């Protein structure tokens, strides 16, 4: 067997694979003998058909299979041995190869087209992105405490709406005549009575029961942020929403908040020995900071990636990539013409991301290892209490390890974990390369910056 390549341009390659009869003859002979022993041929007892007849019937198929297996193995071994940084996978060049005749030919030559990843020159000095840090305001802690006390509070389902109730039902947008607006808001929703900013409108709900209706003007009843949440509208649409809404009530609930005491502190932060409200608030602040830091890291990574892509100046093997995309698609709508039409707006940005990832992974692998995934899953199982603890610590750790490895075997189960760990590694790399300035901002300011990217 002989494999050679020819450079057709800066990135395009032609790979030639020559396979001689002695490369596959032994394997074919062995399989023919196996067929002779097993084959049932009319006119002969099982296993007694002459080899010449077995060869005439089965040899072309066996040779084709053996050559194809050898071709695949040798081609990818050659790519690995030569350290060729191939985009996608090689494509058969049927025009050069022709149609092999496995019944008559003994030696075969195959041609493949391939393309290399371009050198992606990362110019770190052109990147100017700040790393934000969100200040935790006292109101953020207060809001979190309110959510915690409700979560651990006493739940009731009163017959009629009263002060402090959550209201559930359907929200229907009305037209100027008071009828349902065709194509308007029509959604199931929930909100607190205290979310209503106008006391007179809030009073309309007091005493109402399931199947009752209340009509209110959304803009008079709620702030834009509440409209956004309750009616599930985009932020910009919520700010402009002025319609009347008919609330069709399906029920209500009343939660008596849990008391702020040591019992609650232990439930929220087990094993941290929190005895007073000040330490409880500090623990919550730390929790919020951690969540905020993750959001800041995600924004930082996305902004750096965007700037890197904006500075992308590497050539791309367009002709090969268009053929490769077409060969990979099972969608009948994807044609050479549709790829050409959508090339600049759809395919090029996606390919740039892939090229950037390839360049970054040459600096440092950003793909989490299996052990890293398993450790992360173990931490989740440990915190959730999914694996019952026992007096034998070693036995508990073994069960934890086995469960985590079983879960991590299926990448579909841990896709989000893989993405998070990969993002974390990317953040560490970007921070190391850029040493960014850290700017403290409020949650509102961060939200505005995040929507600007």
* Residue range 301-327: mean pLDDT, rounded: 90
> Which of the four pLDDT bands, split at 50, 70 and 90, describes residue 391?
low
Q: In which element (H, E) is residue 306 found? A: helix 277-310
**Structural contact between residues 19 and 105, judged by C-beta atoms closer than 8 angstroms:** no
Decide if pLDDT at 277 tops 80.
yes
Q: How far, in Å, CA of 308 to CA of 327, rounded?
A: 29
* pTM of structure: 0.69
pLDDT at 390 (0 to 100): 64
Flag the least confident range among 41-55, 91-105, 137-151, 160-174.
Answer: 41-55
Q: Which phi and psi (to 5°) does residue 252 adopt?
A: -150, 165
What are the residues facing 256 on neighbouring strands? Answer: 154
**Structural contact between residues 403 and 413, judged by C-beta atoms closer than 8 angstroms:** no
366-375: per-residue pLDDT in tens?
Answer: 999 999 999 9
* Residue range 244-269: mean pLDDT, rounded: 93
pLDDT at 55 (0 to 100): 85
CATH of 154-256 among 3.90.1150.10, 3.40.30.10, 3.40.47.10, 3.10.50.30: 3.10.50.30
C-alpha radius of gyration, the chain, whole number: 33
pLDDT at 31 (0 to 100): 87
* Residue range 286-300: mean pLDDT, rounded: 93
Flag the least confident range among 75-79, 407-411, 430-434, 449-453.
Answer: 449-453
- Domain extents in the chain: 2-115, 154-256, 292-452
Dump strand ranges (E) for 230-354: 244-256
135-193: per-residue pLDDT in tens?
Answer: 999 999 999 999 999 889 998 999 999 998 999 999 999 999 999 999 999 999 999 99
pLDDT at 228 (0 to 100): 93
DSSP state of 346: I
What are the residues facing 173 on neighbouring strands? Answer: 245
Indicate the fold that domain 2-115 takes in CATH.
Alpha-Beta Plaits (3.30.70)
């Amino acid at each position: 067997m002989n494999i050679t390549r020819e450079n057709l341009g800066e990135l395009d390659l032609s790979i030639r694979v020559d396979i001689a009869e002695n490369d596959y003859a032994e394997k074919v002979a062995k399989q023919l003998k196996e067929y002779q022993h097993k084959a049932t041929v009319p006119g002969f007892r099982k296993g007694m058909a002459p080899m010449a007849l077995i060869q005439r019937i089965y040899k072309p198929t066996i040779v084709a299979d053996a050559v194809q297996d050898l071709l695949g193995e040798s081609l990818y071994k050659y790519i690995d041995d030569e350290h060729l940084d191939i985009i996608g996978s090689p494509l058969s060049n049927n025009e050069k190869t022709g149609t092999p005749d496995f019944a008559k030919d003994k030696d075969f030559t195959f041609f493949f087209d391939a393309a290399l990843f371009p050198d992606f020159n990362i110019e770190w000095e052109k990147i100017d992105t700040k790393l934000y840090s969100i200040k935790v305001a006292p109101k953020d802690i207060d809001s979190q405490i309110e959510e915690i006390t409700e979560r651990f509070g006493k739940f009731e389902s009163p017959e009629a709406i009263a002060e402090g109730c959550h209201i559930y039902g359907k929200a229907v947008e009305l037209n100027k005549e008071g009828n349902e607006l065709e194509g308007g808001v029509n959604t199931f929703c929930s909100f607190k009575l205290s979310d209503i900013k106008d006391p007179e409108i809030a009073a309309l709900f007091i005493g109402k029961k399931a199947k009752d209706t209340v009509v209110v003007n959304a803009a008079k009843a709620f702030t834009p942020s509440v409209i956004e949440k309750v009616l599930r509208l985009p932020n910009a649409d919520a700010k402009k929403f002025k319609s009347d809404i008919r609330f069709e009530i399906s029920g209500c609930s009343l939660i008596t908040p849990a008391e702020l005491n040591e019992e609650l502190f232990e439930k929220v932060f087990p094993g941290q020995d929190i005895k007073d409200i000040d330490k409880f608030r500090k623990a919550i602040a730390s929790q919020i900071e951690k969540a905020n830091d993750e959001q800041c890291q995600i924004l930082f990574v996305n902004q750096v990636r965007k700037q890197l892509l904006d500075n992308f100046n590497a050539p791309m093997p367009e002709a090969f990539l268009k053929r490769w995309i077409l060969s990979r698609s099972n969608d009948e709508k994807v044609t050479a013409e549709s790829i050409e039409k959508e090339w600049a707006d759809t395919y090029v940005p996606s390919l740039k991301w892939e090229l950037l990832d390839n360049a970054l992974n040459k600096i440092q692998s950003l793909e989490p290892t299996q052990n890293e995934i398993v450790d992360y899953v173990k931490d989740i199982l440990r915190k959730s209490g999914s694996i019952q603890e026992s007096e034998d610590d070693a036995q508990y750790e073994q069960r934890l390890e086995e469960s985590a490895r079983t879960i991590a075997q299926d990448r579909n189960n841990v896709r989000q974990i893989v993405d998070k760990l990969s993002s974390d590694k990317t953040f560490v790399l970007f921070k190391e390369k850029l040493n960014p300035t850290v700017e403290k901002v409020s949650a509102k300011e961060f939200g505005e910056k995040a929507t600007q990217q």
